Amino acid sequence: MRKVFLGILMLLCGWASVSAAEKSFSSPDGKLTVWVDDANGTPTYRVALGETSFIESSPLGLKTNIGDFTQGLTLTGCEVKPVKDQYQLATIKQSQVSYEATEAVCSFEQQGKKVMDVVFRVSNRDVAYRYTIYPKGGTLVCVVDSEASGFQLPAGTTTFLCPQSRPMGGFARTAPSYETGYSLDDQMGKNGWGEGYSFPCLFRVGEKGWVLISETGVDGNYVASRLLNVKDGLYRIGFPQQGECNGWGSTSASVALPCQTPWRTITVGTTLANVVETTVPFDLVSQKYKASQEYVWGKGSWSWIIGMDASCNFDEQKRYIDFSAAMGYQSVLIDALWDVQIGREKIAELAAYGKTKGVGLYLWYNSNGSWNDAPQSPKGKMDKSRERRAEMAWMKSIGIRGIKVDFFGGDKQNMMQLYEDILTDANDFGILVIFHGCTLPRGWERMYPNYAASEAVLASENLHFGQGACDAEARNATIHAFIRNTVGSMDFGGSTLNKYYSANNQRGSRRVTSDVYALATAVLFQSPVQHFALAPNNLTDAPAWAIDFMKSVPTNWDEVKYIDGYPGKYAIFARRAGNQWFIVGINAEEQPLKTNIDLSLFEKGTELQVYSDDAQLNGSVKTVKAKKQIAVTIPTNGGLVIVNK
Ligand code: CA
């Protein structure tokens, strides 16, 4: 009897929760649908792909100092229209993007006054939303203290997440800098180290598919956020922590009204294809200024990863310029301490020498003003406009190609403004920008035409620092390919061909991955500027076929396709540059990966160059047969590359 009564009650509640005001709209192909509701005055949304719910009823809204826009709200309607955009962007995973989506502007009133819109965009693989907050009478600015923006994942979903660090911890109190390890296929309901998770955040909804949650369009107008677990499967947007940036700046966002917040993005797919191939971080943003010149992207070398601080001297950098020239590379990155160990005059000499060889220089800078203890110099050149612009004028005068600015102070709005100011000033002087010890880029490839890449990952430096990272190298690479690198260019600095991380290549932490793995990750990891962890000795001590491949591998891609894989286990992708497809795979599992790779990207009869850890197969040329398949084995910590000739 009790059971029957409960059943009736549940039915009634289910019926009652379908408010008359619920609105829905779908992607151009009709498969991805969003419902928006205001039952009990609380705005919510949910997302389904076909019949499958991927985001269950989840809260929307913001708390501001001009009103609490999370409750007491009435949905007055959703204005729905198709949107289209075509754009070219050489520096991301896809050079030509044809974006199509359904836009729905859902307006909310409070006490009879329009206070907020939630603007949705639904493409065939992504749902995104952001808020528009309206002025209140003569009040033309407000403080956004928090967002209710939530993501209720279905029961049984597992998580692929890395914790957000507490502030002012880690090396020289430089955290958070998005350099933590991932837990894979973990249960929901945890909250990292107590401070939630760094974007992007990947979830597996059992056998039904995958969800990638992130954000884009963050600049000096707002804070960057993280994902906090509320309870069980409910996650919500979290603002920065008070201690970030040595306590300087608020955790809230200070905005002028009307204001449009950054986009919250949800990529959904039955396989990982949509996650790998999504362009949502770029689709939703626009360029903030024009490129001051045509920038030179491409490959380079970098002594620090093998030789560390001691290698940042004149002779060694000259040797690396020669090495880059021998490889046909476009640049050399000179890391920390060049100001004291080389000096400005000698840097100018190196820049002039590089120019004669077609090699441009990138110079490292410490970002710090007052937000960390990192002792590396040059310091105090990037945090204030006058010093920064004077420094950049000097760089321009000697022909410096770019900068790598390290050790940022977190995700508060003042830091977002600093990232934007560095990029904007650098463009005035024709300088490309790489960020390290930094936050995740959020649409910056399109917003800032001189933005190259960010670290925001446990990058190659950790391979030098310890054997544990070397032992886990392949595992971590399969994670980054499916998570971090799907939303933005990733400056990993890898593809090492040394056996050991030391200048004499005989001691230090030992690389356990194969040479073909190094080649495969040069393609798997996407960044329009790649400073590989190669060393001049590799010209003679690495296999000629590996060096030849590393000479010719592209850094700018026209297209990417997911073929197969699983975070932490293995990854097989294809990237296209012009009419060449590079199919690459790596394997982190304890057993060799035996699989048939689909070759339908190629015409029958196409000749394929194969790089394999199987000595018999390596260097062979295969012809695509009618079946369009190739049986391959990728050993543990090994790789595979297949390229059409
Ligand atoms: Ca770092």
Q: How far is the CA of 415 from the centre of ligand 1 (A)?
A: 17
Q: Which amino acid is at 19?
A: S
pLDDT at 6 over 90: no
pLDDT at 16 over 80: no
Average pLDDT, the chain: 96
Tell me how crowded residue 96 is: count the other CB atoms within 10 A of its CB.
11
pLDDT band for 7, please (50, 70, 90 cuts).
Answer: very low
3-state secondary structure of 466: coil
Looking up tokens 């019926």 gives 15
Mean pLDDT on 223-248: 98
Q: Are 643 and 608 in contact (CB under 8 A)?
A: yes
Contacts of 174 (CB under 8 A, 6+ apart): 372, 373, 374, 407, 408, 437
Q: How far is the CA of 10 from the centre of ligand 1 (A)?
A: 52
Residues in the chain: 645
Q: How far is the CA of 437 from the centre of ligand 1 (A)?
A: 5
- What global pTM score does this model have? 0.96
pLDDT at 362 over 50: yes
Q: Are 434 and 365 in contact (CB under 8 A)?
A: no
Please tell me the distance from the alpha carbon of residue 226 to that of residue 129, in angstroms, as a whole number.
16
The predicted pLDDT at position 14 comes to: 38
Q: Are strands 226-231 and 234-238 parallel, antiparallel or unpaired?
A: antiparallel
pLDDT at 565 over 50: yes
The predicted pLDDT at position 257 comes to: 98
Q: How far is the CA of 454 from the centre of ligand 1 (A)?
A: 10
The predicted pLDDT at position 20 comes to: 55
Q: How far is the CA of 311 from the centre of ligand 1 (A)?
A: 18
Tell me how crowded residue 599 is: count the other CB atoms within 10 A of its CB.
22
pLDDT at 541 over 60: yes
Mean pLDDT on 170-182: 95
Q: How far is the CA of 453 from the centre of ligand 1 (A)?
A: 13
Tell me how crowded residue 396 is: count the other CB atoms within 10 A of its CB.
14
Q: How far is the CA of 374 from the centre of ligand 1 (A)?
A: 12
Q: How far is the CA of 273 from the centre of ligand 1 (A)?
A: 29
* 388-421 confidence digits (pLDDT tens): 999 999 999 999 999 999 999 999 999 999 999 9
Please write down the long-range contacts of 465-474, taking CB distance under 8 Å and 24 or more positions apart. Answer: 465/509, 466/509, 467/509, 467/510, 469/509, 470/501, 470/509, 470/510, 470/511, 470/512, 471/512, 473/511, 473/512, 473/513, 473/637, 474/512, 474/513, 474/517, 474/586, 474/587, 474/588, 474/636, 474/637
Q: How far is the CA of 211 from the centre of ligand 1 (A)?
A: 27
- At 449, list the tokens: 């035409």
The predicted pLDDT at position 585 comes to: 98
Q: Which residues lie at CB < 5 A from ion ligand 1?
A: 437
pLDDT at 13 over 60: no
Please tell me the distance from the alpha carbon of residue 166 to that of residue 489, in angstroms, as a whole number.
25
Q: How far is the CA of 72 from the centre of ligand 1 (A)?
A: 45
Q: Which amino acid is at 515?
A: D
Phi first, then psi: what are they for 530, rounded to 5°? -125, 115
Q: How far is the CA of 119 from the centre of ligand 1 (A)?
A: 36
Q: Which amino acid is at 204?
A: R
* 425-471 confidence digits (pLDDT tens): 999 999 999 999 999 999 999 999 999 999 999 999 999 999 999 99
Please tell me the distance from the alpha carbon of residue 479 to that of residue 473, in angstroms, as a whole number.
10
Q: How far is the CA of 166 from the centre of ligand 1 (A)?
A: 16
The share of the chain scoring above pLDDT 90, in percent, equals 96
